[in-house]
Copies of this chain bind each other. A is one copy, B any other.
Amino acid sequence: MNVRIAIDCMGGDHGLPVTVPAALSFARHEPGASLLLVGRAPLIEAALARDALVAEQYAMVRDRIRIVHADEVVEMDDSLTTALRSKKNSSMRVAIETVKDGAADAVVSAGNTGALMAIARYVLKTQAGIDRPAIAQLIPNKTGGVTACLDLGANVDCEAEHLLQFAIMGSAFVSALLDKDRPTVGLLNVGEEVIKGNEVVKRAAELLRTSGLNFQGNVEGDDIFRGTVDVVVCDGFVGNLVLKASEGVAQMLAGFIREEFTRGPLSKLSALLAYPVLRRIRRRGDHRRYNGAGLLGLRGVVIKSHGSADAYGYEFAIRRGFDAASHQLLERTATAMAPLLARISESSAAASAAGADVAQV
């Protein structure tokens, strides 16, 4: 099977020096992938010939690389309006359009999240039954596995029905990326504290219980990192804050470790002796391996890389796009949505029948 991935080569803090080497490396590792490099063609060509090593890599995968020219670039500080209305030939938009046109099976970008979501939503539209797309990410947990968490910031004021839709999308995301049947789903809620959960979350739990998903009930903040369930659902306000706070803790602790191991010559010596262990610890906590968030609920696979990702991290984002497309993320989402859509159409049929009765009276 050949999976075609469109890469927004201009997006992110670094652009071409990261996206092009990552794309070449991915193409070499994954013979089933073709890549569309989208952006300013002369600059992409220059990046592909940057040095002998890159040129050699490019020669090895040339038949699976295509350059797609796009004049403009969405900058990190462009307003949504500018990105959406004034830059119709941006690398981001052209890359998304290749998915819309059927020329690519997935798109990867490290550009502005808001612009990517707005353009993807405008160009691709949402899948049937999905009111709002959501952002999902895989987060490492204690078990050595990962927990998918969504929404991470696309939707700040959510209704219970949106949380249900996020659960469906997240479930399909995990089932596609990790090849897992009926992933377990938990609803993020406060536990033993004074009042258990806000009103929206309480109603969402009721909806989830009859959703056909493998719903395990409420989970607490620390369950994300315990790996209690495969999918943790929350609104985008909470999800964004929890994710950022978690990154903050990890950075603080990494800083403590660094400081203490460099405090004086004896500490430095013990760091040297413990080097293999410290390297393994760093590797286990390396966030680059979890790079690549899914913009879910759209009629196309869209993956967002962290803006500051290096080539190593960016390649993981391309990998997520490849996995999602090759394991039918969209079809899995549609299948998981089907019972809900059937129920909605039943109840609207019942409502119009009731309406007809009223009209006859």
Q: Which residue of B lies closest to A274 (CB)?
A: B270
Which residue from chain B places its CB closest to the CB of A307 in the assembled complex?
Answer: B192
Q: Is A103 an interface residue (CB 8 A)?
A: no
Chain B residues whose CB sits within 8 angstroms of the CB of A209 once the complex forms: none
- Nearest B residue to A257 by beta-carbon distance? B281
Taking the closest CB of chain B, its distance from the CB of A224, in whole angstroms, is: 6
Tell me if A223 counts as interface (CB < 8 A to partner B): yes
Judged by a CB distance under 8 angstroms, whether A155 is at the interface is yes
**Contact, CB under 8 Å: A248 / B226:** yes
Q: Are A194 and B225 touching (Cβ within 8 A)?
A: no
**Contacts known (A142-B252, A273-B274); A113 close to B225, Cβ less than 8 A:** no
Interface residues of A in 274-322 (CB under 8 A from B): 274, 276-277, 280-281, 284-285
Distance between Cα atoms of A277 and B272 in the complex (Å) = 12
Q: Does A217 contact B (CB under 8 A)?
A: no
Partner of A221, one of B201, B236, B248: B248
- Which partner residue on chain B sits nearest A223 by CB separation? B248
Task: Determine the residue in chain B with the shortest Cβ distance to A140.
Answer: B252
A194 touches B154 (CB 8 A): yes
**Contact, CB under 8 Å: B256 / A253:** no
Secondary structure at chain A's binding surface: helix, strand, loop or mixed? helix
| Contact mask for chain A residues 146-172; partner B; CB cutoff 8 A; 1 contact, 0 none | 000000111111000000000000000
A247 within 8 A of B: yes
1/0 per position for A75-104, CB-CB distance to B under 8 A?
A: 000000000000000000000000000000
A220 contacts partner chain B, Cβ-Cβ < 8 Å = yes
Interface centre among A118, A155, A260, A267 (most CB of B within 10 A): A260
Asked whether any CB of chain B lies closer than 8 Å to the CB of A183, the reply is no
Q: Do B253 and A253 touch (CB < 8 A)?
A: yes
Chain B residue at smallest Cβ distance from A280:
B260
Contact in complex: A113, B248 (CB < 8 Å): no
Binding stretch for chain B, among A45-53, A237-245, A335-343: A237-245
With A225-B248, A241-B238 in contact, do A266 and B276 touch (Cβ < 8 Å)?
Answer: yes
Q: How far is the CA of A194 from the CA of B154 in the complex (A)?
A: 5
**Cβ of A241 and Cβ of B220 under 8 Å apart?**
yes
Q: What separation, in Å, do the CA atoms of A284 and B253 have in the docked complex?
A: 9
Across the interface, name the chain B residue whose C-beta is closest to A198.
Answer: B156
**Shortest Cβ distance from residue A291 to the other chain B in the assembled complex, whole angstroms:** 17
A114 contacts the other chain (Cβ, under 8 Å)? yes
Known: A188-B241, A221-B248, A245-B245. 14 other contacts (CB 8 A): A156-B190, A156-B198, A197-B237, A221-B246, A222-B244, A222-B248, A224-B245, A226-B252, A234-B241, A241-B242, A242-B245, A257-B257, A260-B280, A273-B273
Identify 20 residue pairs between A and B in the complex whose beta-carbon atoms are under 8 Å apart, listed by A's number.
A140-B252, A152-B193, A153-B193, A155-B194, A156-B190, A156-B197, A190-B237, A193-B236, A195-B236, A220-B241, A221-B248, A225-B245, A226-B248, A242-B245, A245-B245, A253-B253, A257-B281, A260-B284, A261-B274, A261-B277
